[in-house]
């Protein structure tokens, strides 16, 4: 099974984080906070990713004994990126969605696009830093975390999730922008 190395994960995460940032920055402020019926605004998609990425980053900064205490030891090898994405898509197709603390609070224009995007870039910078500075390659497969939708996954799989999860929300925003070309300035 082919795994992405830590450096490949960092490169892929940086690439998708940058694409997400550039797309959001190109959207005018009114559209950024607009609420389509029954859906999150683009701002709320960003806020959800800030919450998710900050939570994920904790897993790479906690002492190993706490991770072991919270989720136990892996009893299988890490999945490939493709297998993890397939599992996530399957869970979404079954009706899985964000819950609890991962549901963003209503985000209106008073919060400010600039502040929200700064929160996003800070969250992604901390994620990259935690991987680079705090996480040896071996730790990625030797420790588990509990994911609200995917169950217990390895730290490597959590990296894969973070990359794909960002791409998933980028696609939502791009599809919304394609439906309404006025979103892009």
Q: In this predicted structure, what is the pLDDT of residue 131? A: 97
Q: In this predicted structure, what is the pLDDT of residue 180? A: 59
* pLDDT, tens only, 3-14: 899 999 999 999
Does residue 36 carry a pLDDT above 60?
A: yes
Q: In this predicted structure, what is the pLDDT of residue 158? A: 98
Distance (Å, rounded) from C-alpha 77 to C-alpha 154? 8
Q: How many CB atoms lie within 10 A of CB 3?
A: 19
- Which pTM does this prediction carry? 0.92
What domains appear along the chain, each with residue ranges and CATH number? 6-183 (1.20.120.450)
Q: In this predicted structure, what is the pLDDT of residue 35? A: 87
Instruction: Please provide the DSSP assignment of 9-24 as one string.
Output: HHHHHHHHHHHHHHHH
Q: In this predicted structure, what is the pLDDT of residue 103? A: 93
Asked whether the beta carbons of 53 and 123 are under 8 A apart, the reply is: yes
Q: Give the three-class secondary structure for 153.
A: strand
* pLDDT, tens only, 109-152: 788 999 999 999 999 999 999 999 999 998 999 999 999 999 99
Percent of the chain surpassing pLDDT 70: 95
Q: In this predicted structure, what is the pLDDT of residue 140? A: 95
């Amino acid at each position: 099974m082919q795994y992405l190395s830590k450096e490949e994960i960092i490169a892929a995460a940086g690439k998708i984080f940058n694409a997400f940032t550039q797309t959001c920055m190109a959207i005018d402020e009114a559209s950024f906070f607009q609420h389509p019926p029954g859906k999150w605004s683009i701002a709320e998609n960003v806020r959800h990713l800030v919450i998710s990425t900050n939570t994920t980053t904790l897993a790479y900064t906690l002492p190993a004994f706490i991770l072991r205490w919270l989720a136990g030891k892996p009893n299988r090898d890490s999945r490939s990126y493709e297998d993890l994405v397939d599992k996530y898509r399957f869970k979404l197709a079954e009706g899985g969605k964000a819950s609890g603390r991962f549901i963003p609070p209503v985000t209106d224009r008073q919060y400010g696009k600039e502040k929200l995007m700064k929160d996003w870039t800070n969250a992604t910078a901390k994620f990259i830093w935690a991987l680079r500075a705090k996480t040896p390659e071996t730790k990625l497969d030797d420790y588990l975390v509990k994911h609200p939708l995917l169950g217990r996954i390895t730290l490597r799989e959590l990296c894969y999730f973070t990359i794909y999860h960002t791409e998933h929300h980028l696609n939502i925003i791009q599809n919304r922008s394609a439906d309404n070309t006025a979103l892009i300035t």
